[in-house]
């Protein structure tokens, strides 16, 4: 009872949230309308806003799963990313060319497994507050977003997202200076390069084009794979990017986690759902150098073959740690 009431509070704050049309796509850095889910965002106070998104009943990428989750957790994370990006322009006054720089995020979804989604689109509400904001001369430089998610008055979970912001020209100069060359964009990687794609069923996918892992190998206490630079993918790379974005890294982490869980924890791929993640990003994941993922149980822990499995995913490129993620997979068919 308490959970449902608390989840409904955001709708009470802004009772006329609009789900009838999307926000302007340039305010969420999207090109295709099919990749745009945010429908509204209303400022409540300087550090508080409520956002709305429509969850599609069918999508070539986000609903292509053999797993049990009624809503793809990474679709929820993408809706939160869109709410953040829209807010920095619409509520915090950032120019249109501002670049979003993801520093860290986390997600916990205790209510997602029991969510009841009808046959049509679902209405997601994000109640958002900000903290630890840094401003300079009226320009937002960085902030943390704390988001409480609900669907149909039912609490799903929470997302925390830390982002920094930079003018587009400054960002481009910084990227070239750090690399020593202009980075290529995802348009240069529009077909599969060397490597063997993982079979879709091994990572909980139905369609081969939605697999992001190559050359996967599982061992006694770890699993490794390379990340595929799928520049042609309409959801992963909706527009040209000069690095692997955080959403692609999280999809890769989930896929490698599902593969490890199915082969080491005694349940099929379709039994495992992503229920928690926490990730930090140390530097940019470049498109033009092999990126290796390694999944293993946290240090000192044996693989759990029960209802939950915790894994650490390391992303390494050119012998440097690019990012890491701690994920929890929940076995939905466990007694």
- 219/140 same-domain check: no
Does 177 map to a domain?
A: no
The answer as to whether 176 is a domain residue is: no
pTM, two decimal places: 0.93
pLDDT (tens digit per residue) in 168-219 = 999 999 999 999 999 999 999 987 668 999 999 999 999 999 999 999 999 8
160/108 same-domain check: yes
- Residue 218 sits in the same domain as residue 149: no
pLDDT for res 159:
98
State the average pLDDT for the chain.
91
Tens digit of each residue's pLDDT (9 = 90 or more) over 63-105: 999 876 788 999 999 999 999 999 999 999 999 999 999 999 9
- Among the candidates 171, 200, 216, a domain finishes at 171
Is the pLDDT at 335 greater than 50? The verdict is no
Q: What CATH code is carried by the domain that includes residue 7?
A: 3.10.129.10
Whether residues 152 and 196 share a domain: the answer is no
Q: Is the pLDDT of residue 268 over 90?
A: no
pLDDT at 302 over 80: no
Bridge partner list, 147: 128, 159
Q: Is the pLDDT of residue 140 over 70?
A: yes
Contact present, 235 and 60 (Cβ < 8 Å): yes
Phi then psi dihedrals of residue 145, to 5 deg: -105, 130
**Domain end (from 140, 171, 202):** 171
User: How many separate domains does the chain show?
Assistant: 2
Asked if the structure places residue 83 within a domain, the reply is yes
pLDDT computed for residue 263 by the predictor = 86
Residue where one domain finishes, among candidates 126, 151, 171: 171
- Same domain flag for 320 and 253: yes
Share of the chain above pLDDT 90, in %: 78
Asked if 134 and 101 sit in the same domain, the reply is: yes
251 band by pLDDT with thresholds 50, 70 and 90? very high
Quick one: 284 and 238 in the same domain?
A: yes
Query: What is the pLDDT, as a whole number, of residue 334?
Result: 52
Average pLDDT over residues 18-37: 96
- Could you read off the pLDDT of 95-114 as tens digits, one per residue? 999 999 999 999 999 987 66
Q: How confident is the model at residue 10 (pLDDT cuts 50, 70, 90)?
A: confident
Q: What is the mean pLDDT of residues 141-165?
A: 95
Residue 92 CA from chain centroid, whole number: 23
Residue 53 located in a structural domain: yes
Residue 304's pLDDT band (boundaries 50, 70, 90)? low
Neighbours of 333 (CB within 10 A): 11
Q: Are residues 319 and 230 in the same domain?
A: yes
Between CA 268 and CA 201 the distance in angstroms is 10
Confidence (pLDDT) at 1: 29
Residues 190, 141, single domain; the answer is no
Domain encompassing residue 155: 2-171
**Positive or negative CA dihedral for 102, 131, 31, 54?**
positive
Q: Look at 179 and 10; give whichever has higher pLDDT.
A: 179
State residue 333's pLDDT score: 65
Residues 217 and 109 in one domain: no
**Does any domain span residue 178?**
no
What percent of the chain is predicted at pLDDT more than 70? 92
Pair (224, 140) in one structural domain:
no
At 229, phi and psi to the nearest 5?
Answer: -80, 75
């Amino acid at each position: 009872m308490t959970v449902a009431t608390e989840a409904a509070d955001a709708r009470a704050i802004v009772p006329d949230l609009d789900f009838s049309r999307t926000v302007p796509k340039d305010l969420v850095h999207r090109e295709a309308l099919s990749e745009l889910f945010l429908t509204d965002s209303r400022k409540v106070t300087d550090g508080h806003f409520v956002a709305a998104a429509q969850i599609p009943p069918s999508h070539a990428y986000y609903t292509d799963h053999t797993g049990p989750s009624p809503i793809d957790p990474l679709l929820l994370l993408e809706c939160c990313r869109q709410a953040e990006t829209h807010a920095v322009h619409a509520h915090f006054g950032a120019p249109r060319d501002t670049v979003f720089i993801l520093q860290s995020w986390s997600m916990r979804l205790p209510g997602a497994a029991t969510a009841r989604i009808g046959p049509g689109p679902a209405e997601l509400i994000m109640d958002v507050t900000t903290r630890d904001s840094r401003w300079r001369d009226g320009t937002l430089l960085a902030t943390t977003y704390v988001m409480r998610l609900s669907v149909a008055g039912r609490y799903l979970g929470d997302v925390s997202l830390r982002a920094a912001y930079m003018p587009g020209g400054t960002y481009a100069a910084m990227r070239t200076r750090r690399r020593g060359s202009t980075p290529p964009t995802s348009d240069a990687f529009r077909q599969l390069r060397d490597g063997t794609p993982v079979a879709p069923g091994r990572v909980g996918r139905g369609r081969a084009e939605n697999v992001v892992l190559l050359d996967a190998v599982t061992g006694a206490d770890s699993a490794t794979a390379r990340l595929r630079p799928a520049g042609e993918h309409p959801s992963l790379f909706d527009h040209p990017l000069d690095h692997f974005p955080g959403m692609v890294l999280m999809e890769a982490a989930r896929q490698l986690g599902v593969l490890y869980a199915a082969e080491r924890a005694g349940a099929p791929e379709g039994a495992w759902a992503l229920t928690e993640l926490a990730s930090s990003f140390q530097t940019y994941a470049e498109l033009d150098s092999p990126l290796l993922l390694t999944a293993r149980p946290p240090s000192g822990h044996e693989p759990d073959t029960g209802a939950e499995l915790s894994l650490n995913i390391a992303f390494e490129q050119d012998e440097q740690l690019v990012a890491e993620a701690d994920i929890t997979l929940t076995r939905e068919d466990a007694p």
